[in-house]
Amino acid sequence: MANHSPPGIAILGAGIFVKTQYIPRLAEISDLVVLKAIWSRTEESAKGAVEIARKHFPQVKCKWGDEGLHEIIQDSSIVGVAVVVAGQTQVEMSLKMLKAGKHVLQAISEIETALSSYRNISADSPRCPIWAVAENYRFEPAFVELKKLIAEIGDMMNVQLIIEGSMNSSNPYFSSSWRRNLSGGFILDMGVHYIAGLRMLVGCEVTSVSATTSHVDKTLPAPDNITSNFQLENGCSGVFVMVVSSRSPKILWRVVGLKGTVQLERGVQDGRHGYMATVYGGGTSRTIFYPFSGVTEELKAFFNDISETSKKEQEPRLSYVEGARDVAVLEAMLESGARNGAVVPVAKF
């Protein structure tokens, strides 16, 4: 008889996102997964996260340093890992885990060398471990549902993506050293999620960009502002505007078509954070509020993929290639900004 027990996983990393998002979201779906261990470079950091996790997963073990990492690799009951470490070391850590046969869910970072390395691992492995990218925007119900309505607006004429962020000293990620030292800074770390949402909504790829960047707020790494024109493969053009830290936070996607317009805007309703999805057409409009649930949905999809009982293909929204395509758009925009607005083609994967 097949073993239907939930898969055992470990979290590599014990920072803000692990404590405030991953652990609470895993607790919501504890019937689907067993959290076996949390690892960090230091004992103190690992213990801090484990203390929070034990309220929901009493058996979770605390691991740290090289020895702790080796123990996770050797533990056959741990079939998958969530890599939530500094962006600069994510790929190295993920490849190490994949080579050990573990399934990996990681945030998005450097891409090209990583993809070629993964393909080599895949070719050498009889049972290819899954490398999934943690992009919760593709799992937000607001994007899933609004994407279905894009057909109603007819031929696409223009796309607008406006981001006025709130990355100031009161934001817990403001002092994150690895984000500050990341090439592209907060523009890349934050912007990649908004591009994921854009690509999902329009249903086609960005082919080229032309951008202007600037550095105004000196408390932030450069650049902290970007304005980019972009061209879609369907012939439509659009604009991406991002201010990392603004006094008037706003996050908005808007797609204008021949027969109507769809718009998605971050908002709050009855104390719940989420998205206001609006469809305009024929002189009328309708709006639906969708609370956030993308992190939970992405985790459920990953555990379903790595479960021994799962027989279907990997969930395409978790594909590492999708994450690579998101990053490629941002990297092209940043390159264009550094080259005074030169038109830069977006790398294809």
Residue ranges per structural domain of the chain: 8-134, 137-295+326-345
pTM over 0.95: no
Residue identified by tokens 């009161």 is 170
Closest C-alpha among 254, 259, 266 to residue 282:
259
List of the chain residues with pLDDT < 70: 1-4, 86-88, 107-128, 134-135, 168-184, 294-295, 308-313
In the CATH scheme, what is the homologous superfamily, with its name and number, of domain 8-134?
A: NAD(P)-binding Rossmann-like Domain (3.40.50.720)
Residue identified by tokens 């950091």 is 45
Sheet-wide strand order for 225-232: 284-291, 272-281, 261-269, 245-257, 156-166, 237-243, 225-232, 206-214, 344-345
Looking at residue 114, its pLDDT comes to 53
Q: Are 308 and 317 in contact (CB under 8 A)?
A: no
Q: Where are the alpha helices (DSSP H) in 54-149?
A: 65-74, 87-99, 112-124, 141-149
Q: CA-CA distance, 335 to 293, in Å (whole number)?
A: 33
Looking at residue 74, its pLDDT comes to 94
With b for 16 or more beta-carbon neighbours within 10 A and e for fewer, the 93-111 pattern comes to bbbbbbebebbbbbbbbbb
What is the token pair recorded at 119? 């393909």
Cβ-Cβ contacts under 8 Å for 306 (sequence gap 6 or more): 7, 79, 80, 103, 130
For the domain spanning 137-295+326-345, the CATH number is: 3.30.360.10
Q: CA-CA distance, 270 to 274, in Å (whole number)?
A: 10
Q: Are 312 and 329 in contact (CB under 8 A)?
A: no
Sheet-wide strand order for 8-12: 61-64, 34-40, 8-12, 78-83, 103-106, 131-133
Looking at residue 87, its pLDDT comes to 59
Strand 261-269 and strand 245-257: the pairing is antiparallel
Looking at residue 28, its pLDDT comes to 85
**3-state SS assignment for residue 18:** helix
Looking at residue 197, its pLDDT comes to 94
Looking at residue 179, its pLDDT comes to 52
Q: Are 244 and 213 in contact (CB under 8 A)?
A: no
